[in-house]
Amino acid sequence: MSKNSILWIGPAALLCLVSICETPASAATKGSKRKVAYSAARAQTRKAKLASARAVAMAREIADTALPRYKVDASGDLVPDVRAAAAIIYDPDTNQVLWEENSQSERSIASITKVMTATVFLESNPDVTQQVTIARSDVYQASTTHLRANDKVTTDDLLHLLLIASDNAAARALARVSPHGSEGFIRRMNEKAAELGLESTHYADPSGLLSDNISTAYDMARLITHASQDDRISSIMRTYEYTVYSARRPITFHSTNHLLGRSDVDVRAGKTGFISKAGYCLATVLRLPESGQNVAVVVFGARSNAGRFMESRNLVNWVSSKASTLFATKPATQQQ
């Protein structure tokens, strides 16, 4: 047979070929309706394999980010080489960018949104002892929440759930009971962003579940700096564990910020965020160990939960090593 010859298949042979190539799934639809019996053992094996794969991926990420990487910038200086999509080190005293990587790129910010939620809710100096009954709309598809419909808690409880446990139902409840109402609250969040000069920031919901909540690392460094100066917010952000006592049960939760409680970093304020569109994010204000200088560090789009904390620690270590030159020209009053 020549290279360009066409092989002709008769009708009977074609029918046989189709029968042979037919997948088991399609054959089942034409023949018997037999179903594969559910096997708890098989399901458990699949879960174990997935868990093992996730553990391996996490271990690789930890190994990859545990040791900081550096590169030479255009000025010939050795600077951080992060794995995250964007990052910044920001001086809250001078509003100076000490180092950045893609800090003006707009990205989804996930639950870092809740920093603005707390800021807007508290700007009217509300009565934080006010009792709130959790509505079904608060908990509906809330993803991360410790609350149930008809729970009775205070607005102070909701603020702790919001900023420590990153509770989405708490964010919705705070917006709902605010003087603005749920829709007006989102408008006020955007107005507040404009007032603070956060030009690349837009909010679509108070929790951060929507990927339409966008900002930049630069804007979020400025926002977390602003929040860190309000002790009502920053003191909650520095709390590792808290218990809310509803009428039905105690609710104990822990901070999502794993930098808290570490001996090598002094967290003054911080908020985590994660949805698939945003990746793992962290905005935090940290006090440098030797100089006592505060810096805002923001990491966007890290590849794992552990990665965002390791990247932040690496950035803090780098800026600490440069503190004598980076902050040398600051007035003495600013270094206190």
Per the CB < 8 A criterion, the answer to whether 84 and 297 are in contact is no
- Give all strands (DSSP E) within the chain, no chain letters: 70-72, 78-80, 86-91, 96-101, 107-108, 131-133, 152-154, 214-215, 241-245, 250-254, 266-275, 279-287, 294-302
pLDDT tens string, the chain, 336 residues long: the values are 444 443 444 444 444 433 433 344 444 444 445 555 667 778 778 878 877 776 665 566 655 666 788 788 888 888 888 999 999 999 999 999 999 999 999 999 999 999 999 999 999 999 999 999 999 999 999 999 999 999 999 999 999 999 999 999 999 999 999 999 999 999 999 999 999 999 999 999 999 999 999 999 999 999 999 999 999 999 999 999 999 999 889 999 999 999 999 988 999 999 999 999 999 999 999 999 888 899 999 999 999 999 999 999 999 999 999 888 888 655 444 433
* DSSP-assigned beta bridge partners for residue 253: 242
Give the helix ranges, DSSP H, for 147-256. 155-164, 168-177, 181-195, 217-228, 231-237
Question: Is the pTM value of this prediction over 0.85?
Answer: no
Q: How far apart are CA 155 and CA 335, in angstroms?
A: 36
Q: Which domains does the chain have, with CATH numbers?
A: 72-324 (3.40.710.10)
CB atoms near residue 176 (< 10 Å): 18
- Backbone CA torsion sign across 106, 304, 222, 201: positive
**Cβ burial 84-112 (10 Å sphere, 16+ → b, else e):** bbbbbbbbbeeeeebbbbbbeeebbbbbb
- Residue 271 has phi, psi (to 5 degrees) of -150, 135
**Which H or E element spans position 314?**
helix 305-321
pLDDT at 100: 96
**Which H or E element spans position 66?**
helix 40-66
pLDDT at 24: 42
Hey, is 52 helix, strand or coil? Answer: helix
Q: How far apart are CA 322 and CA 325, in angstroms?
A: 6
Per the CB < 8 A criterion, the answer to whether 146 and 249 are in contact is no
pLDDT at 59: 60
Fill in the DSSP letter of residue 288: -
pLDDT at 35: 55
